[in-house]
Amino acid sequence: MTFVPNSASARDIAHHLHPYTNLKVHETEGPLVITRGKGVYVYDEDGKDYLEAMAGLWSASLGFSEPRLVDAAVKQLKELPYYHTFTHKSHLPSIDLAEKLKSVAPVPMSKVIFQNSGSEANDTVVKLVWYYHNAIGKPEKKKIISRIKAYHGVTVASASLTGLPNNHRDFDLPIANILHADCPHYYRFAQDGESEEDFATRLADNLEKLILKEGPETVGGFIAEPIMGAGGVIVPPKTYFEKIQAVLQKYDVLFIVDEVICGFGRTGNYWGSQTFDLKPDMLSCAKALSSSYLPISAVMVNEKVYQAMVVESEKIGVFGHGYTYSGHPVCAAVALETLKIYEERNIVEHVQQVGPRMQAGLRKFLDHPLVGEVRGTGLIGAVEMVQDKKSRASFDPKLGLGAKLAKIAQANGLIVRAIGDSIAFTPPLVITEAEIDDMLARMKKSLDEAL
């Protein structure tokens, strides 16, 4: 492709290093430059509309034009544009937000610490697992178990938790003390004739074997997304988390739930933890916390973890962790307003109402010759394309069918995410039934064109 000299695309190619992008392809194909948003749609430089079926990065839950979030930011910028939360300083937006998050937490939580991104939240979690076990006199209990295909971010520690080859390969990751247990994808990894419950039992048994092999005295934490997002929208099989949590309790392993995608209504409950009856000791969240209008993330810790941290402070003094922007007042004010809007507009009930329309619409694609599995709940879903429906054989990865489909969809005014040959859908939570129908129609056209 050739680009008009000095156009946005030409300047992008010349100057901008893109995350999560094939850099070689980018040099010739350039970017899609988005210039404005309205509701669930975004628009490019030429005014072409795209239904944003990923809410950006699973995140802009209130869509792309919520004026109340803009007003909340402006108001706070005028009042106190910046202050920090180090060394006993505080400010009202971060106090209010910590209090609010605790009040909506899926299990009783003690304290909330703020970061700027999901990756940093999970980095904090890793450090807290280590800090906690040092504090309680079990310094050898440091290993953290994540899962194959998990996504927890890209900082050194959170990328190590992530269980995807692209995030490890040639970055010299994972770091020591991070292990990966089985991926709970029934469609892909169940054995012939195995029920969902039997599959869940096998995975829980494997987790127990892993803990015993490593030595329970060395395993300090287990982290999981309620539904795996970037690994392919993988919904756990029936009874999975019940069995996994029993193993964690048996060996006194802290349970950390990563609610960065599932939190704030996505799965049809306020938290994914409620959808799957999870009882975390720590919970990380980000993205929809501020509808992504400004960067902010949070980690909630329970009383057990917090009390150990206080003891550590008695012993060594200052808790030596935190960011210049931890609880940034403008981000916190926008997050507070976001949570207020979720309540006022009954966003969870809205997801319960419209989610089934998206899920039923996606499941209709099972009749399509390319589609092998459709999965999801609430407003998170995925369509997996297969070469052979019966054997579930995947297409040759070299074909890049998922990426090809995402490209066709983009030409048809639909932004989706390809994860291998799975196509993910996480539209803004404010999406209407008519907009869901529009999204499904654009997807149907794209699937037909990919044949």
Per DSSP, the three-state class of 43 is strand
How many Cβ atoms from other residues are within 10 Å of residue 57's Cβ?
15
Q: How far is the CB of 400 from ligand PLP (least distance, A)?
A: 21
Q: Which is nearer to ligand PLP, 152 or 243 (CB)?
A: 152
Output 147 or 152, the one with its CB closest to ligand PLP: 152
Three-class SS state of 264:
coil
Nearest to 145 by CA among 116, 188, 119, 174: 174
Binders in 206-235 for ligand PLP, by CB under 6 A = 225, 229-230
**What values do phi and psi take at 338, rounded to 5?**
-60, -45
Residue 328 interacting with ligand PLP (CB under 6 A): no
The runs of H, that is alpha helices, within 225-287 are 240-250, 272-275
**Pairwise CA distance, residues 211 & 209, whole Å:** 5
Residues 96-135 that bind ligand PLP (CB under 6 A): 117-119, 122
Tell me how far, at minimum, the Cβ of 62 lies from ligand PLP, in Å: 17
Query: Per CB under 6 A, does 261 bind ligand PLP?
Result: yes
Counting beta carbons within 10 angstroms of the beta carbon of residue 138, is it exposed (0 to 12), middle (13 to 18) or buried (19 or more)?
middle
* Number of amino acids touching ligand PLP (CB under 6 A): 15
Counting contacts by CB under 6 A, is residue 381 touching ligand PLP? no
Segment 47 to 66, residues that bind ligand PLP, using CB under 6 A: 57
From the list 152, 185, 328, 417, which residue makes contact with ligand PLP (rule: CB under 6 A)? 152
CA geometry: angle at 317 spanning 319 and 95, to 5°? 45
Burial 340-366 (b: 16+ CB within 10 A, else e): ebbeeeebbebbeebbebbbebbbebe
User: Binding to ligand PLP by residue 178, rule CB under 6 A?
Assistant: no
149 token code pair: 């295909």
CB closer to ligand PLP out of 233 and 440: 233
Reading the block at residue 376, the tokens are 């999801």
Considering only residues 9 to 38 of the shown chain, the ones binding ligand PLP according to CB under 6 A are none
Per CB under 6 A, which of residues 418..447 are in contact with ligand PLP? none
Here the tokens at position 297 are 């993330």
280 forms part of the interface with ligand PLP (CB under 6 A): no
Binding status of residue 289 toward ligand PLP by CB under 6 A: no
Q: Does 376 bind ligand PLP (CB under 6 A)?
A: no
Span from 7-15, 91-99, 146-154, 368-376 in contact with ligand PLP (CB under 6 A): 146-154
ω into 174 cis (within 30 of 0) = yes
Q: Work out whether strand 282-285 and strand 254-258 pair parallel, antiparallel, or are unpaired.
A: parallel
263 counts as binding ligand PLP under rule CB under 6 A: no
Do the beta carbons of residue 260 and residue 235 sit within 8 Å?
Answer: no
Minimum distance of ligand PLP from residue 25's CB (angstroms)? 21
Piece in contact with ligand PLP (CB under 6 A), picked from 69-77, 147-155, 185-193, 249-257: 147-155
CB closer to ligand PLP out of 9 and 122: 122
Token pair for residue 85?
Answer: 């939360």
Where does this chain bind ligand PLP (CB under 6 A)? Answer: 57, 117-119, 122, 151-153, 225, 229-230, 258, 260-261, 286
